[in-house]
């Protein structure tokens, strides 16, 4: 984490603790907003707060990383060559059903 990000995060926390500004996004909000952040739909101010939060919250970083890995793992489901094996009798049945339906 860079010095500048750390300073901004500390200023936000300082302000929030003294009621000078509304609190930073909570972990609950970070996890609620993942998709909006990923797709760029999060408004600029919330996007900035999102980034500040994750700069100081390792559990949220771990959550977001594992959320991303979950999506990557899902993709493995579609590359099983065994899935595309078609029994010849099924092709015959499809073509026979077509003839029958005519």
DSSP string, 1-61: --HHHHHHHHHHHHHHHTTSSPPPPPHHHHHHTHHHHHTT-S-HHHHHHHHHHHHH-HHHH
Regarding 16 and contact with other proteins (CB under 8 A), the answer is: no
With CB under 8 A as the contact rule, the residue among 18, 19, 39, 44 that binds other proteins is 39
Asked if 13 is part of the footprint of other proteins (rule: CB under 8 A), the reply reads no
Contact between 84 and other proteins by CB under 8 A: the answer reads: yes
Please compute, for residue 101, the number of CA atoms within 13 A of its CA located in the half-sphere on the CB side. 6
Residues near other proteins (CB under 8 A) are 1-5, 26-29, 31, 34-35, 38-39, 51, 54-55, 58-81, 83-86, 90-91, 93-95, 97-98, 101
């Amino acid at each position: 984490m860079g010095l500048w990000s750390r300073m901004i995060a500390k200023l936000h926390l300082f302000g929030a603790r003294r009621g000078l500004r509304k609190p930073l996004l909570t972990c609950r909000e970070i996890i609620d907003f993942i998709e909006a952040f990923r797709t760029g739909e999060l408004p600029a101010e919330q996007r900035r707060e999102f980034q500040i939060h994750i700069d100081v919250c390792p559990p949220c970083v771990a959550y977001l990383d594992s959320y991303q890995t979950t999506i990557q793992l899902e993709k493995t489901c579609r590359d099983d060559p065994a899935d595309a094996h078609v029994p010849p009798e099924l092709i015959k049945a499809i073509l026979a059903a077509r003839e029958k339906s005519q």
